[in-house]
Amino acid sequence: MAIEREALEHQLRQAQKMEGIGRVTGGIAHDFNNLLTVMLANIALIEGQLPPGNAEIRQDLGALAAAAQRGAELVHKLLSFSRREHLSMQPVKLSAVVEGWVPALRRMLPETIQLTAELGDDGAVVLCDRGAVEQILLNLATNARDAMSGGGGFLRFGSERVFLNERYRETHPWAAVGAYTALSVTDTGIGMDKNTLQHALEPFFTTKPVGVGTGLGLSMVYGLMKQHGGLVQLYSEPYKGTVVRLYFPVHQGAASSEVAPTLTTGLDRLRGSETILLVEDEPAIRSAGSRLLATQGYKVLTAEDGVSALRVLAERGSEVHLIVTDVVMPLLGGPELLDAVRAMGLETDFLFTSGYVGRDLQETGELPSDEAFLRKPWTVEEFLGAVREVLNKPRRGPALA
Ligand SMILES: Nc1ncnc2c1ncn2[C@@H]1O[C@H](COP(=O)(O)OP(=O)(O)OP(=O)(O)O)[C@@H](O)[C@H]1O
Ligand SMILES: [Mg+2]
């Protein structure tokens, strides 16, 4: 009895520790968002203005962009761990997501590693964010690759239907009773000793040399799985390979038929001639964003907060097809701006963008869940892609045109 209580207390402390670390890392990550957004956007702008030639400058810019991109990836991982990632959940067949991602993973892995996917539970529909699941697979495949760097091996994806019952909850009290599809990722690599296994999910725990691993991959997987109402289990022994099992709750319903493409191609596809009002209080982001849109052919109006946006709309509201707005701003934030615009009788489309992300905002009811959302820092493709996606949806506005 005493041992059982001790074990439960240990688990509780462990959970509290993870929550605490999550709060701290989430806060830091958020502050880096705006900085990186400005950097990435300006790099793209400089590149666009360079006259032909200038190979050396282009190369330097490339290095700069790669570093900023790496920074953005780190921030993204930290936000996923602290569960501040904005996810858009859709009912999809998990097997379709996994199989769709296999070719990309194959390209990433060296030829000495053989990748196979045999998904037994291939009919399982889960409520998930496709991009998040792809991130999870990418992280696990990267870990497997590192574990098999010695001389190749096998990486296998499998899946099966399992039912987690009351009995299972005795040892995993945070799991809900019900049907899950367990996606397993198995490698034949170096495996983990007890200590590594115990700490592997914690942020910044890594056994890799400085510069190789940041120790955030599995933390991200952990955070994302929790956000999906699921679980992660690791099974490993030294030199016996590793199995990572991801439990996704099975969704009772059909998969949505539209499969969102996640890979963007060239920027040319992302041009347009509509009028966009960009509302953003950070001057550097406002200027970079409006110039990016203008170079793609859009007509751009800008405002530094919700109040001045309303002033612009009072005059030219009927011309505006889309309002891209920050969520948190000193004078009238994004959600309040939406209310005010609807009160004016305008049905203009909205795209919200923020570094404070989904869960926090949606929980406090600040962010309308049915409006499009883009997280910061965005890359140029993400920004232009999100704009195009909203504009391509069946038209809502301008209402008075
Ligand atoms: N498939 C695996 N085989 C063996 N060890 C693993 C495997 N996956 C994770 N580990 C161990 O767990 C540690 C933490 O993994 P995690 O993915 O969180 O960070 P990382 O891979 O070290 O760095 P990052 O993912 O941030 O680049 C690794 O350093 C490694 O020791
Ligand atoms: Mg990793």
Give residue 144 CA to ligand 2 midpoint distance, Å.
8
Ligand 1 geometric centre to CA of 197 (Å): 10
Hey, whose CA ends up nearest to atom 31 of ligand 1?
A: 207
302-354: pLDDT as tens digits: 999 999 999 999 999 999 999 999 988 888 889 999 999 999 999 999 999 98
DSSP 246-285: EEEEBPSSPPPS---------GGGG----EEEEE-SSHHH
From the CA of 203, give the closest atom in ligand 1. Answer: 18
Both tokens of residue 268? 């040319």
Backbone angles phi, psi at 320, to 5 degrees: -80, 125
CB 286 within 8 A of CB 302: yes
Q: Is residue 174 classed as helix, strand or coil in its secondary structure?
A: coil
Copy the structure tokens of residue 95: 């097997």
| Residues written for the chain | 401
Of 257 and 182, the structure prediction assigns the larger pLDDT to 182
pLDDT tens for residues 77-132?
777 777 666 777 889 999 999 998 898 899 889 999 999 999 999 999 999 988 88
User: What sign has the CA pseudo-torsion 122, 125, 130, 133?
Assistant: negative
Among protein residues, the one with the nearest Cα to ligand 1's atom 12 is 200
Residue located nearest, by CA, to atom 25 of ligand 1: 217
- Locate the ligand 1 atom nearest the alpha carbon of residue 213 and give its number: 23
pLDDT bin (cut points 50, 70, 90) of residue 2 is low
Q: What is the DSSP letter of 323?
A: E
217 CA → ligand 2 middle, Å: 4
Instruction: Identify which ligand lies nearest to the alpha carbon of 211.
Output: 1
Poorest-pLDDT segment among 11-20, 27-36, 288-297:
11-20
> What would the DSSP string read from start to end of 147-172?
HTTTT-EEEEEEEEEEEE-HHHHHH-
Q: Check pLDDT > 90 for residue 154.
A: yes
Q: Is 357 exposed, middle or buried (0-12, 13-18, 19+ CB in 10 A)?
A: buried
Mutate to test the pocket of ligand 1, among 206, 207, 224, 235 (most ligand atoms within 8 A of CB): 206
**Ligand 1 atom closest to 190 (CA):** 4
pLDDT in tens, 61-77: 888 888 888 888 778 77
Query: Which of residues 293 and 19 earns the better pLDDT score?
Result: 293
Whether the pLDDT of residue 264 is over 60: the answer is no
Quote the CA–CA distance of 75 and 89 in Å, as a whole number. 21
pLDDT tens digits for 280-300?
988 888 888 888 898 888 999
Rounded distance from Cα 173 to ligand 1 centre (Å): 26
Q: Separation of 371 CA from ligand 1 center, angstroms?
A: 36
Which one-letter DSSP state was computed for residue 319? G
Ligand nearest to the CA of 198: 1
Pocket of ligand 1 (CB under 6 A): 139, 143-144, 147, 187, 189-192, 196, 200, 205-208, 213-219, 242
Per-residue pLDDT band for 257 (boundaries 50, 70, 90) equals low
Nearest-ligand number for the alpha carbon of 78: 1
Contacts of 391 (CB under 8 A, 6+ apart): 272, 274, 321, 322, 349
Q: Express each pLDDT in 162-171 by its tens digit.
A: 999 888 877 7
3-state secondary structure of 54: coil
Ligand 2 ion: residues within 5 Å (CB):
143, 217
**Residue 201 Cα, ligand 1 centroid: separation in angstroms?**
9
The protein residue whose alpha carbon is closest to atom 8 in ligand 1 is 143
- In the chain, the amino acid numbered 114 is Q
| Distance, CA of 125 to CA of 300 (rounded, Å) | 41
Burial of 41 (0-12, 13-18, 19+ CB in 10 A): buried
Structure-token pair, residue 46: 């400089």
Q: Which ligand is nearest to the CA of 147?
A: 1
* Residue 156 burial class via C-beta count within 10 angstroms: exposed 0-12, middle 13-18, buried 19 and up: middle
The two tokens of residue 87 are 């996810």
Percent of the chain with pLDDT over 90: 42
Looking from the CA of residue 214, the nearest atom of ligand 1 is 26
Q: What is the pLDDT of residues 226-254, one digit of tens each?
A: 889 899 999 999 999 999 999 999 998 88
Report the separation in Å between the CA atom of 139 and the middle of ligand 2, taken as the mean of its atom positions: 6
Ligand index nearest the alpha carbon of residue 220: 1
Residue 173: cis peptide before it, omega within 30 degrees of 0? no
Indicate the top mutation candidate among 143, 204, 237 to test ligand 1's pocket, ranked by most ligand atoms within 8 A of CB.
143
Using DSSP's 3-state secondary structure scheme, residue 25 falls into: helix
Q: Calculate the average pLDDT of the chain.
A: 85
